[in-house]
Amino acid sequence: MAASVLPQNSTLISTTKKQVPLVHILTSKTSEDGEQVNRNEPFNYEKAIKFLTDPHSILKDLHYLMKLFNALAEKCQDQPLYIEALCMIIQHCSKPFLLDKSTDANIYETPLAAFYSDFGYLLRIPIKRVQKCILDTLYQSIHTKKTKAQEQKSLTISYDEMRPTTPDYILKIQRASDLCETLVKTMVLVENDLGLRIQILKLLQILSDKTGMNDPDPSGELLFRTIELLWNMLEYGDEEVISDQLDSRVTITRLQEAFLGQVTQSYSRYHCQCRNDILVVCSLIISIKPDAPFVETSFAKQLLLFASYPELRSNNPLVKNFKLTSSHEDFEFKKLLFNTIVVLSRNSVMNELMIESRVLLAFLSYVEPLPRTAQQNVHEWTPSQLEELQLHALAALCTLLPCSMQEYFEYHVGTRLLLFYEWCINDKDDYQSQGNSFFGKGGRNNKRSQLRYVLRLFRSLVSTREERVHQDLSDQGIIPSLTSYLRKISQREVTNIDYVILDVLCDALFILSSLCELDVHRKEIFGSEGIEMLIQILLIDSSLICGGLGYHRLLVAATDCVWCCIVGSVINEDEFIQKQGIFALLDLIEKNPKSLQNLVLGCVLDLAENTKCLHFIMAWKGQNQQQFTHLLCELWRDEEREIRVSRTDKGVINDHQKPLMGEMQQSQEITPLQTWEPSRSVIDLIDNMRSKIYGFFCKLGFSELPGLVEEDFVTLCIIENFLDFKMGEIWQEIVTELEIEGVQLVSPDREATDTILRATDERGLAVAATQNFILEQYHKQNLQQEKEFYEQLIKNHAHKEKRLEDWKSFVARTSKYPLLMAAKDYQNQAIRQSRPEEKEMSTYHTVHNLEIPNLSVTAFAGPYLVIDSTPVDIIGKQRNQNTAIDTV
């Protein structure tokens, strides 16, 4: 190190090669067995001095030079005296390196690239002088333009029979190293120094000129791999991180340029596949980040243009020379465009663009009967492709059309859809669907898939609750058309339908419900045909509800249709009741699970506003001849068991202060709520069926109800006071909230609340006492019935004993004549005693004899005579056998 800082006029001590050095150093080398071997080697001063002072370095010694740089880099940060020496040695690297052999250029190409990579890492030293020296050295090592003086000087330099490296060779090695990446990262470290930043940019300008990294990829594999990588990241990466990174105009613009580049070059299969992959990546980005700047970069407008081509003609240069074929790639491209437009519609800004591009009209062009009439000079898809695009367009319209109701009337969508619907239900048409696509499942050799999606589109339209749309569809006769078709389906075996017809039934019932919900006239149009159809669906077997196919959806849709299309119209209500539709609803309440019971119970409760309905409800009997009142009490007890209300084994109120609260409601702490937020007591009314059951008993009454048992009367006491208990709960919540908020009530209000709460407690105690009284009366009644039962048993035993004595007496009389005579005398004596005493009057005489002469009966006869004879079944069998013989 000292030798490297010697002045230029100082002379060095010359040494000969044979001179023995005075110092030995300890070195370590690795043997062939992999073990470290330490040995003493002589230190060559001449070689070390030449290494430090010679401005030219041999390629094979560069790793020693890098070790020296790393050692000085650590020292100079602590001791500034080493900075001068480090800079002087670094400047030597601007000179050409020497090649000992002609093959060294290829042999040491990789070590030289590693050297420049490590040399660039020296920029991490936070010393401006060292950083400037490194940048100057790198620039001079690859600077090819030299002055005349520099060229003459280079000719006089002696390289001791070695050949120097050329600047072009050094430039090639630096480009192959990590030097460019290191320089770019260093821009952050020197962002406050303009001079160093300019030097770095000069180096990057030279290194990036005519480099292979900037060459276009002739194979296109780079773009393909990049898109594949983005696809994997979007599918399996963290959505939040990815959305933050991709939510920029630069990213979307790059995707837009790549997409348009592939679209304009879609003359090969590879470009078509790459184009489709880019579109998939775009759709994934939109699904993760709907407000990504696709609209701001005009990418969305261009996608709408491609989606409406070739259905709509356009003079835009992008589609002027663009053509679609029936190839698999172009077909996938068309479907991906449909899907991308649907995903783009999540952004509300897209509504105006869709109106301007008329993309909905392009989708509606597929809503027509198949097969299409062939047109000249117009691209036509294959029948299977056209069918799949038709179904895909219908599915896309289910999302797009409700967002642009202005186009509904402009494009006469209602008429288009109804004509297409009539074609779908027309059995005379001989069109046979392919049924190969995702949307065509279950629709092979029929038109059920088209029917399924056109009804789904109708459902999306009526779900907007736009009255103009409802009126338009009703005026064009959709209600009678749907009811007639549904009746035709329901007349078949409902239990054998598949999931496609099940979806059709559910969607059609929902459409009818939406149209008739708020209009009495439309309910009357629903009429008898719709009522018969609904009753047929409601009579479905309850065992199919949990079968997994989705029959519960059908029952929910049918119940909702009853609620919307029948309830509210007196004519429909009377006809529905007379056709025993109310019995079908009550059967559903008894047989189906709780998820359906709550819905059906509410429907029947609204239907019970018609007084004729109450007579049918009271006349209904279930499977075990149970009446509706008993069923309601059972449902009430099931609800209380589910929410775990405190009750005794007999159903008596256990906690009179909380007679209706379940465990979950009690565990929730009372907190102050906003004015629009419902309290936990109000939510309890919505969650379970107890309020509906109370409403039924308010209509049926709480006394003189048939079909109730002891447990039902106990439950009925709670049901009768349900409203009072619930009001007490709500007042308790109000008082508690006021206490939490620190609000002090004035004296009159305090007295009123205390009175209400006290009345609720007293009502709970009174109901519990009534329940106990009912149980006690039933207990006494059971004891009385038990006593009567035992008395009857005693009478039965006495009667059996009497019959046995009579039998013994009969046997004795028939076997012994003296006993028979004694019985005869006893009988005569009894007869005489039963007659009144005769008056001794000579004027009276006997008109007829009161005794039957020669009577051989010694016992008094009753009104019935029992004769022991041959059993009738034996006589009947013998008679049948004789008849058969006579016939033969």
Please determine, for residue 28, whether its predicted confidence score (pLDDT) is greater than 50.
Answer: no
Q: What is the pTM of this model?
A: 0.70
The DSSP letter of residue 723 is H
The average pLDDT across 749-766 equals 91
User: Residue 599 phi/psi, 5° resolution?
Assistant: -65, -50
Q: Which amino acid is at 642?
A: E
User: Residue 20 phi/psi, 5° resolution?
Assistant: -85, 125
Q: Cα angle at 631 between 628 and 633, to 5 degrees?
A: 115
Sequence-ordered alpha helix ranges (H) in 5-127? 45-53, 62-76, 82-92, 104-107, 109-121
Task: Kindly report the number of other CB atoms within 10 A of residue 770's CB atom.
Answer: 18
Q: Minimum mean pLDDT among 54-68, 223-237, 674-688: which range?
A: 54-68
Share of the chain above pLDDT 70, in %: 83
| Burial class of residue 847 in the structure, from the number of CB atoms within 10 Å of its CB (0-12 exposed, 13-18 middle, 19+ buried) | exposed
Across the chain, what does the average pLDDT equal?
82
Is the distance from CB of 307 to CB of 338 less than 8 angstroms?
Answer: yes
Q: What is the DSSP track for 614-647?
A: HHHHHH-B-TTS-BHHHHHHHHHHHHHHHHT--B
Instruction: List 145's β-bridge partners, or say none.
Output: none
Residue 584's pLDDT is 92
Task: Kindly report the number of other CB atoms within 10 A of residue 156's CB atom.
Answer: 6
Q: How far apart are CA 797 and CA 790, in angstroms?
A: 11
Q: How far apart are CA 639 and CA 715, in angstroms?
A: 12
The SS3 assignment for 38 reads strand
Residue 678's pLDDT is 82
Altogether, the residues listed in the chain come to a count of 888
Residue 157's pLDDT is 59
Is the distance from CB of 714 to CB of 774 less than 8 angstroms?
Answer: yes
Between these two residues, 754 and 59, which has the higher pLDDT value?
754
Give CA 65 to chain center in angstroms.
65
Q: How far apart are CA 549 and CA 497, in angstroms?
A: 10
Is the distance from CB of 696 to CB of 761 less than 8 angstroms?
Answer: no
Give me the helix-helix angle, 611-619 and 570-578, nearest 10°: 20
- Take residue 257 and report the two structure tokens written for it: 């340029």
The average pLDDT across 851-862 equals 68
Residue 434's pLDDT is 73
Q: How far apart are CA 448 and CA 442, in angstroms?
A: 7
Residue 31 binned pLDDT confidence (cut-offs 50, 70, 90):
very low
Q: Which amino acid is at 884?
A: A
Q: How far apart are CA 616 and CA 626, in angstroms?
A: 14
Q: How far apart are CA 888 and CA 881, in angstroms?
A: 11
DSSP H or E run through 98: strand 98-99
pLDDT digit string (tens) for 650-661?
Answer: 889 998 888 888
Is the distance from CB of 604 to CB of 589 less than 8 angstroms?
Answer: yes
pLDDT digit string (tens) for 564-598?
Answer: 999 989 999 999 999 999 999 999 998 888 888 88
Sequence-ordered alpha helix ranges (H) in 446-545? 448-462, 467-475, 478-490, 499-516, 520-538
Residue 27 binned pLDDT confidence (cut-offs 50, 70, 90):
very low
Strands (E) across 442-573 are located at none
User: Residue 184 phi/psi, 5° resolution?
Assistant: -65, -40
- Take residue 313 and report the two structure tokens written for it: 């003609």
Give me the helix-helix angle, 467-475 and 413-425, nearest 10°: 50
